[in-house]
Structure 1
Amino acid sequence: MTQPDTSVPPPVNISHSIVKDATFIQHNNINQHHYTRSGERPGYMRLLENVAKAALHDSIHVVDPPKCHPNTRVAIIQNIHDWTLGVDAKVGSKPILWLKGGAGAGKSAIARSVAERCSDEGLLLGAFFFGAADPTRNHVGRLVATLSYQISIVLPEFRDMVAAFIEDDPLIFDRSIKTQFSTLIVRPLSAILANRPTASTATPRLIIIDGLDECSAVNSQQDLVLTLQEVTNTTTFIRFLVCSRPESHLNSAFSLFRMTPILHCLFLDDDDYAASDDIRLYLEDTFKQIKEEHVFKNALPDPWPAPEMVDILVDKSSGQFIYAATVIRYVDSPRHRPNQRLDAIFNLRPPFKDLPFTELDALYRLIISKAEDLPAVLDILAFPALYGAYHAEAIEMMLQLEQGSVEVLLADLHSIVTFSWEGVRFLHKSLADFLSEPQRAGDLYRDLFRVQLSHVARVISIFSTHCGQRTRILHSSQIYKPIIQVLSELRKPDNMKADYVSSDILQALQLFPSFEFLKAFIEPLFSSEGPIFIRFYFQYLYCIKDVVLALLLMNWSSDWAAHFVFAYDHLLHDPCYLLPRKLSHVNFITHFQQTDVEAFGHTMLYIIGVATSMDDLYYPYFDDITKISHDLMGNTEKEAIFAKSASFCLALLCDERSASQDAGSIYGIARHDRRKKRDHPWHWRQMVPRPPSLGNRLALIGFRPTLYMDYKLKLTRIRKALRNSIPYRYGDIRLITMREYFEVKSEPVPKSWPWWIKDERPQQWPLYIFLLDLLPHILPLAGWYEPLVDMCRKKCLSSLSQVWPKKSRRARQAIDNYLCRMDSQEGGE
């Protein structure tokens, strides 16, 4: 470029100029045509040509620059000031401070406040404020020239030296940023300081670089970070304050091994620096100012604004000043009443033509649009928008993404999204409002309600896929969130329940293997995630029972145990069936140990709800589901359920193998001769004319007074022991043979039945009695079911039936009546 002719200077333009310390300083309109000071060196004028005037911290070319409100951000500003002075030896030894924070956290306002304070105290060498929308400061091309110019103002002797370096290399501004830093800052500064005495703490040494993420080229940002590291290796005099969003490429650059020893990081976290308190102070002060100075102040109600409004605004700000500042700018419009504008913020009145969050929405749209896979990113953002913090692993499971995909897809959104132990969450709560309003989000809008229903369907499908597996479902407590939130909405009055069911949900319900899922968990209350999910699953079904509860009954296939539990819990308890009180309660754990019913039945009662001593486990769905089950099912469906339930009962009653161990003890008490009862236990009366009944015999009984106490021994009649026991706990009593008794008595003075008796194989005879009594109530309700018919015709009751002749006789009579009914139906056809 042609050097300017300084021999004939044109008239001086002193626009925007000041005189400081008898030195003429011109901040603006500085170029080779208008800077006319006689005798100025060409090199320095060339420097001025490359200065970005809008990048200065006190530039008039930035309209309404962000500034910290008085008495806010005090702690963070003081922290940076102390680092500049090296007050803390540990932190002060690190020459680079990275101040990072989300979009709108107030980084630039803090940087300007620090620049002003340090400039007043003579600590500032220079500052450069990047701006994405300004072509003069959205790149690194003018960074070094702008900093060098400011240093020349602070250190006058620097001017001639840097001018000489430029004259020696006129193309210096076309060289790399590293070379420019070395030539125009480090070398002249080092030469000046070498001729000075040891620098005091008050010597200017701070350079501020704000908005690094707004530099247009990512490579330039990373190169600049590495250049700053090399500069600090060359000289210990300069300190760099770098402010930016925590973009992924900057996180990577600042995380390099060579950066660790020289880098101190500060994150604008609300918890660390009480940003919410500062925002509250800012809102209260500015609202007070509006009430005192606004043109329509007399029209404002008193009090205004309501305290709860301020609380909500502080919460919505999420520690980010941009939200609060946007609200204030909107409310403070001189053409409108402030109270009406604030009502529009809270949707208490229709919005004005100028929407309140236009500036904030543009910021969100700019950041989100940077994502490479925008549809996938919007799918991910729906989770924190709907449920708050949500674990990345759970999102990947819900969206069927590869492990680690969430962090990769959100790499460009770190300024509005953060990762923590809580999961993926928004730095701005207002971002959820933006995504949920089509007028604001535009083409980024997703119908979050429909998305939530798809999440519910996906949750059901995930647990359906994991049915029977003992592997832990990652972050299942997070996976429940869609169902939990839908449940909270369903419980609100006047909600249309059909709105909370979609075709995807119906399909997932039809495919969900309820019984197989429950059967996979041996300890359903406390040991695994499955029963927790199934509680929410059943609660959801209960809430939408009028729509899909019948689906639950169709998913158990032909499993007898499942149908037995459902028939017992929800059909037999109907008053029309007159189930005796002694059969109305059963403890599935003590009665059905080592059977398929134990886990399934107990979990069903736990989930759907019967009264228990633990109030927090009680869900009053039992009576409703019983009634609804009758209403939704026809007679044919009921007959099929009762038939499969009877098959379950008869299979246990005819199982000689499971009865043999109990039979040995019982025969030892009753003095029955087992050798006389061989092949036909149904016809045992023909072989033993007058067998004694066990019910009225004296026997040693082991019983537990309460559920958690050891067994006690007592000589009493078995029928009396059963009659006096709590109905649903008579499985806790045991028959004890004299041999067993004397074995225990031979031990050193036991006070109770040994504790290990609880860990032995439970006796089956209490369950046997229960099923003998229950079978006559089920078979009359059962329809045609071929396995049941075959069992009734070919199998016989086990030898335990001989001990209770009356009960066995009633059971056999019910079997005969069922066969007669089935034969008559078959003949009628």
Structure 2
Amino acid sequence: MKEDMARAISLFTWPAHNIFPQQIQRQLQEAQRQLQENQRQLQEAEDRKIVDSIPWADAGYRSVDELKSGFMQGTRKELFAELESWSHGRFPEDKPKRAYCLSGGAGLGKSSIVHQLCVRLDAAEQSPLRLGASFFFVRGRGDLESARLFFPTLTRQLARSRLALCPYIVSAAREYLVHGEQQQMQHALQGLLRKALIAAPADQLPTLLVVDGIDECKDRELVPDLLRSLLSLVREFPWLYIFVASRPEPHILSVLASPDFADIVHHMRLEDTLEDWGSDVDRYLRETVPKIPLYGDFLDKHPDSLERLIKRAAGVFIFARIAVNFLDMHRNHPEEWFELVLSGGSPATSPLDALYLQILRSAFPPEDLRASPRQRERLRSFLRFIALESGATPETVAFYEPELSVDDVFYIVDRLRSVLMIGKDGDVVPLHASFSEFLVDEDRCGDALYHVDKSEGHAHLACACLAAMSFENRTYYLQKPDKYARINFNVMVDRWRKHVEQAKCTAELEEQLFQFVQDIRLALHMWIIIEFKPGVTGYSIQYMWDCLQ
């Protein structure tokens, strides 16, 4: 009996060397590991669902259209060398700043620069600065021009690109979404993006937020707050960098120039580089146009045509890009299409014309001009002078346009800095000659609120010239040079004939010419020319008579 009991007990006693319990243990461990993996995958799926629920716009750099993203390797070398130094925390050298703002007028290639920066940072394996998120505003494209989706879109991209931030973004998003998807901009900033960044550990890798075309945001009144909020985030989180590109509009420049952010913002103006980097557009045209079928042979026979196109582009990238696209679409009869591009009135200019009209309507909305006839007349006077004169100081423009004060001129120039600039000599000039051509061409400028009638405009300026050439004005100009130091009196003295020759015959001009001949002005003018400028031709009595006839 005792032996039977011992035998029975031995059946349920596992020797130490038996492997069966070890197999069970391994299976239990595997089951536990699999359970943990399943839980992890379920959690990741839940997190992805929450991240996917964050409202967003398809505004990342990979979604940018070809016209904005086109970039030719080997151009803008100085700028990208500077950005390379900046991304390593070594620019500016005296005091590195983590906010880099690039401003420039329409067509100078801002978007292509920003897009190329994103491409390089995203592809770089060793760069100390990593691309976290990008937002390219595009006017007239729904969500791509909305401030409401700006911060949610950046947050959503950060959750995907910076995995260390993802859990904190998910946590913040879970609470944020309880209050709805379409929340105001400040709620999206504070309750979503900033809340996640505050919760995250402070030892994050240097991360860059890129914003292009902030001037194209339709919520104009929100843009200053949006920009200030970005700069405040940079100040608050020492690992965060931002790169912003915009046209130089007053409501944006005022934020960049604020003393509150002077210690963290570096502002780069593309207009200051036109002379230095004009060769980039030159190189682009030389390397692309001859490669278009049939155009290579044409340019071999007519090399001056390419030189004329380079001169016509005047360092403005968008004009060069549009011209190349147009020529590439019209490969037969190169000579005809080339001349059409150079003439300035070809279909090639239509994208540029649309851009000009968009800028004018944004700066001076049609409804505002219709509601304020005086504002409409001030703008008309200014555009007329810009379109038909070759440049003058704001004081000169105001002197010859009674509707305008100097403050009015500066105000309009500020609003139109995307297409105008004040040169080193103080003259207000278009960034590109095509803007003046656009204003006087009724077919290209399809809105009468901004169109300048060429012959009527010349008649108006001719009257202004003749009125300005009074004996009193000449006396003041000669006796009080300080008072007129900023007024180029000679602009009108030298150009009145040009305007008369191209002017429409109006009653006002006829009266001005009659008085000009009758009183001392014509005789005084001819005497001054003959006495003090003997080398100037075209002032004989016969010539003047023919001109006035």
Q: Structure 1 length as normaliser, TM-score?
A: 0.53
CA distance in 1, matches of 2:499, 2:191: 66
CA distance in 2, matches of 1:172, 1:91: 46
Instruction: Call closer, same or farther: CA 1:628–1:250 in 2, change over 3 Å.
Output: closer
Say which SS state the counterpart of residue 406 (structure 2) adopts.
coil
Say which SS state the counterpart of residue 222 (structure 1) adopts.
helix
Which residue of structure 1 aligns with residue 51 of structure 2? Answer: 47
Instruction: Call closer, same or farther: CA 1:91–1:379 in 2, change over 3 Å.
Output: farther
- Cα contact 2:148–2:184 (8 A) shared by 1: no
Say which SS state the counterpart of residue 97 (structure 1) adopts.
strand
Instruction: Give the counterpart of 2:265 among 244, 263, 266.
Output: 263
Instruction: Give the counterpart of 1:484 among 494, 499, 513.
Output: 494
Instruction: Give the counterpart of 1:360 among 327, 349, 352.
Output: 352
Which residue of structure 2 aligns with residue 136 of structure 1? Answer: 143
Amino acid at match of 1:439: D
Q: For structure 2, which runs of at least 5 residues remain unmatched after alignment?
A: 1-40, 370-374
Q: How many aligned residue pairs are there?
A: 481
Which residue of structure 1 aligns with residue 122 of structure 2? Answer: 119
Instruction: Call closer, same or farther: CA 1:92–1:117 in 2, change over 3 Å.
Output: farther
Which residue of structure 2 aligns with residue 696 of structure 1? Answer: none
Which residue of structure 2 aligns with residue 413 of structure 1? Answer: 416
Deviations 1:364-388, CA, capped at 9 Å, x for gaps: 1121233243442232122232232
Q: Does 1:312 align with 2:304?
A: no
Q: Does 1:456 align with 2:462?
A: yes
**C-alpha deviation, 1:72, in angstroms:** 1.3
Q: Does 1:505 align with 2:505?
A: no
Say which SS state the counterpart of residue 321 (structure 2) adopts.
helix
Larger Cα-atom Rg: 1
- Cα contact 2:56–2:156 (8 A) shared by 1: no
**C-alpha deviation, 1:360, in angstroms:** 0.7
Q: Does 1:168 align with 2:175?
A: yes
Alignment of 1:691-710 (within 5 A): none
CA distance in 2, matches of 1:40, 1:192: 18
- Cα contact 1:390–1:423 (8 A) shared by 2: yes
CA distance in 2, matches of 1:84, 1:377: 43
Instruction: Call closer, same or farther: CA 1:625–1:166 in 2, change over 3 Å.
Output: closer
Say which SS state the counterpart of residue 55 (structure 1) adopts.
coil
CA distance in 1, matches of 2:408, 2:67: 40
Which residue of structure 2 aligns with residue 88 of structure 1? Answer: 91
Which is further off, 454-463 or 183-192?
A: 183-192
- Cα contact 1:417–1:427 (8 A) shared by 2: yes
**C-alpha deviation, 1:222, in angstroms:** 0.9
Alignment of 1:676-691 (within 5 A): none
Q: Does 1:180 align with 2:188?
A: yes
Instruction: Call closer, same or farther: CA 1:64–1:456 in 2, change over 3 Å.
Output: closer
CA distance in 2, matches of 1:285, 1:628: 50
Alignment of 1:620-635 (within 5 A): 625=541
**C-alpha deviation, 1:190, in angstroms:** 5.0
Say which SS state the counterpart of residue 238 (structure 2) adopts.
coil
Deviations 1:525-571, CA, capped at 9 Å, x for gaps: xxxxxxxxx5xx32xxxxxxxxxxxxxxxxxxxxxxxxxxxxxxxxx
Alignment of 1:767-806 (within 5 A): none
Instruction: Give the counterpart of 1:346 among 332, 342, 349.
Output: 342
CA distance in 1, matches of 2:162, 2:503: 74
CA distance in 2, matches of 1:235, 1:618: 68
Which residue of structure 2 aligns with residue 74 of structure 1? Answer: 77
Q: Which structure has the highest helix share of the two?
A: 2
Say which SS state the counterpart of residue 303 (structure 1) adopts.
helix
**C-alpha deviation, 1:245, in angstroms:** 0.4
Amino acid at match of 2:312: K
Deviations 1:676-714, CA, capped at 9 Å, x for gaps: xxxxxxxxxxxxxxxxxxxxxxxxxxxxxxxxxxxxxxx
- Sequence identity, in percent? 19
**C-alpha deviation, 1:417, in angstroms:** 1.4
Amino acid at match of 1:416: V
Q: Does 1:446 align with 2:457?
A: no
Say which SS state the counterpart of residue 62 (structure 2) adopts.
coil
- Cα contact 1:98–1:241 (8 A) shared by 2: yes
**C-alpha deviation, 1:47, in angstroms:** 3.4
Instruction: Give the counterpart of 1:394 among 396, 401, 411.
Output: 396
Deviations 1:438-479, CA, capped at 9 Å, x for gaps: 221232332334423432321232242536544446357633
CA distance in 1, matches of 2:90, 2:465: 54
- Cα contact 1:102–1:320 (8 A) shared by 2: no
Please tell me the root mean square deviation across aligned C-alpha atoms, in Å: 3.5
- The one of the two structures with greater contact order (alpha-carbon pairs below 8 A, sep at least 6) is 2
Amino acid at match of 1:103: A
Alignment of 1:198-209 (within 5 A): 203-209=205-211
Q: Does 1:153 align with 2:153?
A: no
- Cα contact 1:270–1:276 (8 A) shared by 2: no
- Cα contact 1:182–1:231 (8 A) shared by 2: no
Which residue of structure 1 aligns with residue 320 of structure 2? Answer: 324
Which residue of structure 2 aligns with residue 288 of structure 1? Answer: 290
Q: For structure 1, which runs of at least 5 residues remain unmatched after alignment?
A: 1-36, 519-533, 539-603, 630-829
**C-alpha deviation, 1:318, in angstroms:** 3.3
CA distance in 1, matches of 2:537, 2:360: 46
**C-alpha deviation, 1:161, in angstroms:** 1.8
**C-alpha deviation, 1:110, in angstroms:** 0.4
Deviations 1:325-356, CA, capped at 9 Å, x for gaps: 111111111674444322221349x95xxx22
Instruction: Call closer, same or farther: CA 1:258–1:341 in 2, change over 3 Å.
Output: same
- Cα contact 2:51–2:159 (8 A) shared by 1: no
Say which SS state the counterpart of residue 425 (structure 1) adopts.
strand
Amino acid at match of 2:283: L
**C-alpha deviation, 1:608, in angstroms:** 2.9
- Cα contact 1:389–1:422 (8 A) shared by 2: no
**C-alpha deviation, 1:94, in angstroms:** 2.0
Instruction: Call closer, same or farther: CA 1:607–1:419 in 2, change over 3 Å.
Output: closer
Instruction: Give the counterpart of 1:242 among 230, 238, 244.
Output: 244
Instruction: Call closer, same or farther: CA 1:485–1:65 in 2, change over 3 Å.
Output: same
CA distance in 2, matches of 1:498, 1:382: 14
**C-alpha deviation, 1:92, in angstroms:** 5.5
CA distance in 2, matches of 1:153, 1:81: 24
Which residue of structure 1 aligns with residue 432 of structure 2? Answer: 428
Instruction: Give the counterpart of 1:251 among 250, 253, 257.
Output: 253
**C-alpha deviation, 1:237, in angstroms:** 1.2
Q: Structure 2 length as normaliser, TM-score?
A: 0.77
Instruction: Call closer, same or farther: CA 1:93–1:301 in 2, change over 3 Å.
Output: closer
- Cα contact 1:148–1:184 (8 A) shared by 2: yes
Instruction: Call closer, same or farther: CA 1:136–1:244 in 2, change over 3 Å.
Output: same
- Cα contact 2:458–2:502 (8 A) shared by 1: no
